[in-house]
Structure 1
Amino acid sequence: MKTNTNSYTIIYSVVLVVVVALMLASVYQALKPQQDANVMLDTQKQILYALNQDRDMTNEEAAKLWQNLVEADDMIDANGNVVEAGKQGGTEAGFQHLNSAEAKDGKLVVFRCKVDGETKYVIPVYGNGLWGPISGFIAVNGDKTTVFGAYFNHEGETAGLGAEIKDSKKWQDLFKGKELFANGDRDHVALSVEKKVTDPKTQVDCVTGATITSNGVADMLKAEKGGLQPYVKFFNAK
């Protein structure tokens, strides 16, 4: 075949594209298991942070803590009943449905944990901030009425005030001890982030200068999908 013709150029280009695509696909498949493992470990660390564990933990320490503290990653229905039970240190039940449509369509994820001999429940939450999605985990005490700890993540947020929801442990610690409900109303989640706190039992000060992101956290906590509100019957169950 003549190499100075248009047909040769086209065929050569097509072959080159196919070869490069196959090489990239092979590299992706080779790296995917490690990428999935890294994502899982990062998520586990976020849950452990919500349980007030050391944020400077190594990967090995995180793996050990996960096995010791997380009793099960359960799936529950809208009535708070377990429909798929996880296992000690598990990642095969509720963990697999984090951020999935199934977990938001009648089935919910709850991590049952034990910290210093006391039961804690970690709830995943999802919402929207100024520059993109925000997410987090709220750890609830065994009484199902008060917050044990919280961790929020906002990968799309630029460095600055809005990123405080992720980077500031001091701000996240403000959630500790807050009550989920107010004035005896256990049908509606009252936990919120406010620019002006009027109920210190249920409200946390917003991040100064990051009103939109703070509002995103507030909306996320009370949302009917992705928030704490769908867990009301679980919180009320004995």
Structure 2
Amino acid sequence: MRSIPSNKIKDALELAKAKCGISHFSKRVLKNLSGGYQQRVGLAQAIIHNPKLVVLDEPTNGLDPNQILEVRKLIREIAEDRAVILSTHILSEVQATCDKIVMIEHGEIVFADTLHAFNNYIEPNTLIMEVDSPPSEDELYAIEGITDVYFVTKNRIRLQFNAGPEITKTIIQASITNGWRLSEIFLEKSSLDGVFAQLSKKKHAGNKAPELVPVNF
């Protein structure tokens, strides 16, 4: 079926089984394997003829958390020496396995770039800081650009702002001046769901959620 020359089938079979970690199940009936190993068999079938392109549709659907991690690892290994197109609606799957994203809605490409560009599509507007001597809410609201204050714990605070990223420098200086003893500060990245919602709203307001078609290269 894969047009492999008859004299090369045995070697191709052994290589695909080894690559997918199923050599020790060679004599087992497929239906008696776990869902994760059944997926591995499917991946072995997809690469046995050494294609330059592999297309996968929801490859971790129905798997338990451990099986998902195993299959994701296998997909990344397969993508080391070939292109992999992975279609999924699960955003965590995108983040865990993909390098580039093409988002398609109603047959139109509405986003096509790297995962890094997707993650940074929305400029961060919140930050997390941790201090040993926490200030009051009033002190934080007094900082120009701070629009919301939320105490995650007594010492860990989430701040929303409408200024640029340089707000971190302002907060660091305020900590030094007021003795907050700042131990950690970082900008929060926008969630994949947040970026996804913004893209959907911008491109096709009112339509159903678009499909993500991530691509590994």
Bigger relative CO (Cα 8 Å, ≥ 6 apart): 2
TM-score bracket for this pair, using the shorter chain length? under 0.3
Larger-gyration structure (1/2): 2
- With normalisation by structure 2, the TM-score equals 0.28
Give the alignment's TM-score, normalised by structure 1. 0.26
